[in-house]
Structure 1
Amino acid sequence: MSAGFQRARRPEQIAARRTAILAAARELLAERPVADISLRELSCRVGLAKSNVLRYFDSREAIFLEVLDTAWTTWLTELDRVLGDPAPADPGFAREERVAGTIAATLAERRQLCELISAMAPVLERNISPEFARGFKVRASANTERLGALVRARVPELSADGARQFASGVVIVVSGAWPYANPTDAVAAATAELGGTPGFAAGLAEGLTNLLAGLVARRR
């Protein structure tokens, strides 16, 4: 143990230690991508040895998945408020465009959430225990179901299966669009020389609108 370290034993002590570790993870995410944050750096930020941090979480990846889960549920609560009450269908697919655009805009405002979603499958889910994986996937599934339900409440023509497909599609589109919109300096310079690409929010809105409108059109 590091000098001065006292192991948290009471539930409230354990909860406080976990909260401090998660807060440190969020601070670091505000400074750099998750791929650039090591367990050693995170441990130093919270003032613990790596071995002591691992007393409270399975791994570095598990810590950031916990941060993702909180950010995800917080976003869904805000999205429900911003989407507002259901409205009658507009001509064409204007309603679907408005709903998808709102989802895209609120996601674009949450860089940490987009960063963690893009890292979830290829990075963060690769070094966790079966027990933690099971719990996280249950929560992730609940978040996806909740997103689908929020969208279906505003677009009732969407089937229950279509709502699930759309919600899963949001995760998939963000996972691909975020790293594409945040390239290395060399790739960004080369892309600019070739005329550039649409920004993350605009590209995400277009992709989600097409997905939502397509799923609704198949029901008509």
Structure 2
Amino acid sequence: MSAGFQRARRPEQIEARRTAILAAARELLAERPVADISLRELACRVGLAKSNVLRYFDSREAIFLEVLDAAWTAWLDDLEGLLGDPAPADPGFAREERVAGKIAVTLGERRLLCELISSMAPVLERNISLEFARSFKGRAAASTERLGVLVRTRVPELSADGARQFALGVVVLVSGAWPLANPTDVVAKAAAEVGATPEFADGLAEGLTNLLAGLVARRR
């Protein structure tokens, strides 16, 4: 902890301290997986004691969930432009394949987002307060709804409920596919020996295409 530490009291001071902590968390996530980052290491990176970090966030897990929320919002902002304008339906399910493929490719380019999504339910949501859980889940639900709307705008045959199911399916598929595609060194070596090394973006695109096409087909 820096010798000149003073507790932030004014709103702008508190926000500046929170911003610094989140920036430190992102820096560490660029270096190693979330599971390998301790609260002590994060506190040292930002120049505070652990107890002082916890003045601004509920827990280590809450910090990384805030990073996830910001990364998810940034992805949706970019995705809206990348999906382009709505277009007439193509023969078969080519349009669904195109939309699902763009989602998969953009997620594959965002390691931080995918890692935090895959860690959300099993790790990061295990040590947070009820108040923070309400806030985070409310924001997560809004982001999921936004993704559903983006997809339904491009695939209008999809029902509102189907759009929500698809958006939730994106989270579920990323949660499972990312760890499989990014195993430990030992598991990666063993998988390579038997020819079982999954490619994240391609596998995700296939799964999302099947999900989206299936939801549309059920509506027809």
TM-score (norm 2): 0.98
Distance 2:216 2:197 in 1: 28
- Deviation by residue 1:13-65 (Cα, 9 ceiling, x = unmatched): 00000000000000000011101000000000000000000000000000000
Aligned 8 A contact 2:188 2:197 in 1: no
Alignment of 1:10-25 (within 5 A): 10-25=10-25
Distance 2:5 2:34 in 1: 27
Distance 1:88 1:47 in 2: 55
1:8 to partner: Cα distance: 0.4
Structure 1 residue ranges, 4+ long, deviating more than 4 angstroms after superposition: none
Alignment of 1:189-204 (within 5 A): 189-204=189-204
What is the letter of the counterpart of residue 108 of structure 2?
A
Identity %: 85
Alignment partner, residue 60 of structure 1: 60
Distance 1:198 1:120 in 2: 22
Of the structure 1 ranges 120-129 and 197-206, higher mean CA displacement relative to structure 2 is found in 197-206
Give the aligned length. Answer: 220
1:186 to partner: Cα distance: 1.0
What is the letter of the counterpart of residue 56 of structure 1?
Y
- Deviation by residue 1:180-206 (Cα, 9 ceiling, x = unmatched): 100011110111011133310101101
Alignment partner, residue 117 of structure 1: 117
Alignment of 1:119-138 (within 5 A): 119-138=119-138
1:3 to partner: Cα distance: 2.9
Alignment partner, residue 50 of structure 1: 50
Alignment partner, residue 96 of structure 2: 96
Q: CA RMSD in A?
A: 0.9
Distance 1:104 1:209 in 2: 9
Alignment of 1:177-216 (within 5 A): 177-216=177-216
**Please, which runs of 5 or more residues in structure 2 have no aligned partner?**
none
Distance 2:27 2:194 in 1: 35
What is the letter of the counterpart of residue 5 of structure 1?
F
Alignment partner, residue 174 of structure 2: 174
Alignment partner, residue 83 of structure 1: 83
1:2 to partner: Cα distance: 6.0
What is the letter of the counterpart of residue 32 of structure 2?
R
TM-score (norm 1): 0.98
